[in-house]
Amino acid sequence: MPRVRIVTDSTAHFRDSGYAEQNGVIVVPLTIHFGKQAYREGHEIDAHTYYQRLAAGGPLASAASPSPEAFLSLYEELSRSGEPVLSIHLSSKLSHTWHNAKAAADTLLGRCQVTVIDSLTTSVGLGLLVEAAAQASARGESLDEIVRIVRGMIPRLYVVFFVESLEYLEHSRRLGKAQARLGAMLGIKPFMTIEEGEIVPMEKVRTRQQAVEKLMEFITEFSSIEHLAILHGAANHADETRQLLERLALDFPGREWEVATYGPSLATQIGPDSLGVIVFEGQEEAG
């Protein structure tokens, strides 16, 4: 049986930066635009260079999805070997990437086997799904079985974060201009989640310390955590990340937790100074 080829996009964050290349995962880049200048995420710009560029001033960046034609060309190339393709992408509510991949796959219907999954998440969450798919493919699992595994994981992924500035949510059209201005005047830092693939507000806090407390409250609600990652942006708020790690060490002694810098695509929507966590909930053992 031909091995299933795994495709994702550049918003996926892997625990090992070389994971995709080492495991045959194909990563299709989004494009980061600074005014008229364009850079392929993961190739011509990474998190470090993005935050450097942002700190230097200039226009706010935006992220553009790969085109349907780019996906079509890739799927056609992969299908020549007779291998089925599973393409897993960031939430369709955060980008047109899934829509463009699905449009390309639909064009090839009946000619090759391509399944496109909306992860309803991004960053570390997407990376976990892709890693699970790649591992299942390496074991020789069928396309249907890998799809079942990935879809079963999606409801167990939870994301919460807070944003320092409402400017980026407004720029990416996640927030209306009037709401952004009012929030800025009141000094509000929205505490947000990704719910059914969409960024939605949970509550409001006024200080970063309050936000850190809310993150810990959220984490301690889980009775079983299979994986947890702290997501931060530019490294100028390392103190809060350290606070979270110290609190986690008290509540979950002996465990180690991932700390990840979120990439340019997500930063264009939530800004460089956000802090959050992604939790992959463990499955309770049957009694």
Q: What percent of the chain has pLDDT over 70?
A: 89
| Whole-number pLDDT of residue 187 | 55
Low-confidence ranges of the chain (pLDDT < 50): 171-172, 174-186, 286-287
| Whole-number pLDDT of residue 202 | 79
| Whole-number pLDDT of residue 204 | 78
**Dist CA 266 CA 61 (whole Å):** 11
Neighbours of 129 (CB within 10 A): 26
Predicted model pTM: 0.92
Output the DSSP codes for 146-202. HHHHHHHHGGGEEEEEE-S-THHHHHTTSS-HHHHHHHHHHT-EEEEEEETTEEEEE
**Dist CA 127 CA 9 (whole Å):** 10
* Domain 5-154 belongs in CATH node 3.40.50.10170: yes
| Whole-number pLDDT of residue 32 | 96
Nearest to 160 by CA among 196, 124, 191, 119: 191
**Dist CA 162 CA 174 (whole Å):** 14
| Whole-number pLDDT of residue 235 | 59
Segment 30-63, tens digit of pLDDT: 999 998 899 999 999 999 999 988 888 878 899 9
Class of domain 157-281: alpha beta
**In the chain, what are the domain boundaries?**
5-154, 157-281
| Whole-number pLDDT of residue 140 | 96
